[in-house]
């Protein structure tokens, strides 16, 4: 039974294996696969795989069969993250051989071409592009310098740019595959930057947080920008004669198309990010907004507070009126006492001096007792400041959570409320008082512009209501 199982397994392996591959060579590469971590990767591993890719492409007459075998070979040997650097080394080796440059392009193309049958290839290519973006930022490879112009590009910008150029050299229809890889690279780097900015914003909001060690960054230039700049640089041509045609014109066309693709994708990403941010802000706004119960419950104390504000505003006038009467009575009483003493002393009245002095003392006593503040305390107005502040404090928490729409509707109802009809002229002043005494008014949901907007709208509605009456 065990012999039958082993025989079936061997047949399955033979069926799944890539046809027309020399067993010795395939086994020699396969034994260094990362699926066997105990084996060491030799120094010439990248050279062996690149030679094998060249061999497959030159041996196979059918390009589809060749791309299938190359993609299978690359994925089986380089699918682990720690092997990504060898894929870049293999690509670089292929690009450095004049007759094998196109195979570097077909290797990248094959991995994207067969993603429908092998979805794992897509994950592998995305991992390669992420590795390139990370290596570009950290500068783990020496920069490429053009010998003629002395312009520098990152190693990954040079490699990816050359792969894209040779893809277009093979067939301009491959731009769809190129665009897919280039688009993923842009989206990955943009997503990383947006995430970094979001993280920095959150860190700024946390006080007393220790500064973390920042990762060393070799360049702030994006890899997708470096690739476009490299392609544009490679497309430059200095002609010896006026009518000499530029042999690199297709590279310039590629650079222009990549710039258009870059603008479109970046604009699309920014629009989506702005939409997500808007939705998030709207969600936070809805969570912070006052509920319908809070808005309804704030109406009664608001009206009562308006009445108390009117009472408090009239306090000084009433107080001065009572104080004027009290002081007038005191002056009259003292004057009458002084007059009684004076006329008694001079004999100008029926009163004697003793009677005049007695009458004067009575008038002084009257001024000090009957005309005193204590006696007039019942006539003085009551100070409702404490009660006013208490009423205002009951609805200010709801006011802090009102949105512009909510506060406009709230004041529209207050203006139309018959209970406030006689006190509408005090409404703008009362609202300013409420915002002045409101605690933590910097944390209110409304911005300064929105507060000014609703104040203007309230005054307009107030004028319309008063004219209607």
Arithmetic mean of pLDDT, 410-423: 85
pLDDT in tens, 56-103: 999 988 889 999 999 999 999 999 999 999 999 999 999 999 888 999
CA angle 159, 164, 168 (to 5 degrees): 145
155 close to 143: Cβ distance less than 8 angstroms:
yes
Burial class (CB in 10 A: 0-12, 13-18, 19+), 122: middle
Q: What is the pLDDT of residue 103?
A: 93
Arithmetic mean of pLDDT, 139-148: 88
Burial class (CB in 10 A: 0-12, 13-18, 19+), 286: exposed
Q: What is the pLDDT of residue 287?
A: 66
Q: Is residue 255's pLDDT more than 90? A: yes
In 125-160, which positions are buried (b, 16+ CB within 10 angstroms) versus exposed (e)? bebbbbbbbbbbbeeebebbeeeeeeeebbbbbbbb
Across the chain, what does the average pLDDT equal?
A: 80
Count CB neighbours of 44 within 10 A.
10
Q: Classify the C-alpha dihedral 232-235-237-242 as positive or negative.
A: negative
Enumerate the domain spans of the chain. 20-195+217-238+245-273, 292-468
Q: What is the pLDDT of residue 34?
A: 40
Q: What is the pLDDT of residue 154?
A: 92
Nearest to 107 by CA among 97, 94, 96, 98: 94
Q: Highest mean pLDDT range out of 130-134, 307-311, 379-383?
A: 130-134
Nearest to 310 by CA among 437, 396, 424: 424
For residue 145, what is the enclosing H or E element? strand 144-145
The pTM is what? 0.60
Burial class (CB in 10 A: 0-12, 13-18, 19+), 109: buried
Nearest to 384 by CA among 454, 336, 315: 315
What span, in angstroms and rounded, lies between the C-alpha atoms of 297 and 175? 64
Arithmetic mean of pLDDT, 408-417: 85
| Direct distance between the N- and C-terminal alpha carbons of the chain, in angstroms, rounded to an integer | 103
- pLDDT range class, residue 33, cuts 50, 70, 90: very low
Count CB neighbours of 288 within 10 A.
13
Q: What is the pLDDT of residue 184?
A: 94
Q: What is the pLDDT of residue 215?
A: 54
Q: Is residue 108's pLDDT more than 60? A: yes
């Amino acid at each position: 039974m065990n012999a039958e199982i082993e025989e079936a397994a061997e047949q399955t392996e033979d069926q799944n294996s890539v046809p027309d591959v020399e067993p010795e060579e395939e086994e020699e590469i396969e034994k260094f696969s990362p699926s066997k971590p105990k084996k060491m990767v030799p120094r010439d591993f990248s050279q062996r795989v690149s030679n094998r890719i060249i061999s497959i492409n030159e041996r196979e007459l059918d390009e589809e069969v060749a791309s299938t075998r190359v993609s299978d070979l690359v994925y089986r040997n380089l699918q682990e993250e720690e092997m990504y650097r060898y894929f870049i080394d293999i690509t670089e080796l292929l690009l450095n051989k004049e007759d094998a440059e196109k195979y570097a392009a077909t290797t990248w193309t094959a991995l994207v071409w067969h993603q429908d049958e092998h979805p794992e290839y897509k994950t592998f290519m995305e991992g390669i592009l992420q590795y390139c973006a990370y290596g570009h930022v950290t500068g783990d490879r020496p920069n490429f310098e053009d010998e003629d112009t002395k312009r520098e590009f990152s190693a990954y910008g040079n490699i990816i740019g050359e792969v894209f150029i040779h893809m277009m050299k093979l067939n301009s229809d491959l731009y769809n595959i190129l665009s897919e890889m280039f688009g993923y690279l842009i989206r990955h780097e943009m997503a990383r930057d947006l995430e970094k900015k979001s993280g920095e914003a959150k860190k700024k909001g946390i006080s007393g947080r220790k500064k973390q060690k920042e990762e060393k960054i070799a360049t702030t230039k994006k890899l997708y920008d470096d690739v476009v700049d490299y392609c544009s640089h490679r497309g430059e041509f200095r002609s010896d004669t006026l009518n000499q045609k530029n042999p690199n014109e297709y590279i310039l066309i590629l650079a222009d198309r990549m710039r258009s693709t870059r603008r479109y994708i970046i604009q699309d990403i920014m629009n989506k990010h702005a939409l997500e941010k808007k939705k998030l802000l709207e969600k936070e706004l809805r969570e912070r907004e006052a509920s319908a119960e809070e808005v309804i419950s704030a109406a009664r104390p608001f009206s009562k507070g308006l009445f108390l504000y009117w009472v408090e505003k009239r306090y000084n006038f009433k107080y001065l009126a009572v104080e004027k009467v009290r002081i007038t009575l005191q002056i009259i009483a003292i004057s009458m006492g002084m007059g009684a003493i004076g006329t008694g002393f001079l004999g100008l009245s029926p009163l004697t001096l003793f009677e005049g002095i007695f009458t004067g003392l009575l008038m002084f006593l009257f001024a000090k007792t009957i005309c005193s503040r204590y006696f007039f305390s019942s006539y003085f107005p009551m100070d409702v400041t404490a009660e006013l502040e208490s009423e205002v404090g009951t609805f200010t928490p709801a006011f802090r959570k009102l949105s512009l729409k909510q506060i406009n509707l709230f004041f529209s109802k207050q203006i139309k409320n018959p209970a406030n009809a006689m006190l509408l002229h005090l409404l703008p002043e009362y609202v300013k008082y409420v915002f002045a005494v409101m605690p933590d008014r910097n944390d209110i949901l409304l911005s300064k512009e929105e507060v000014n907007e609703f104040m203007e709208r309230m005054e307009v509605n107030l004028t319309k209501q008063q004219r209607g009456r």
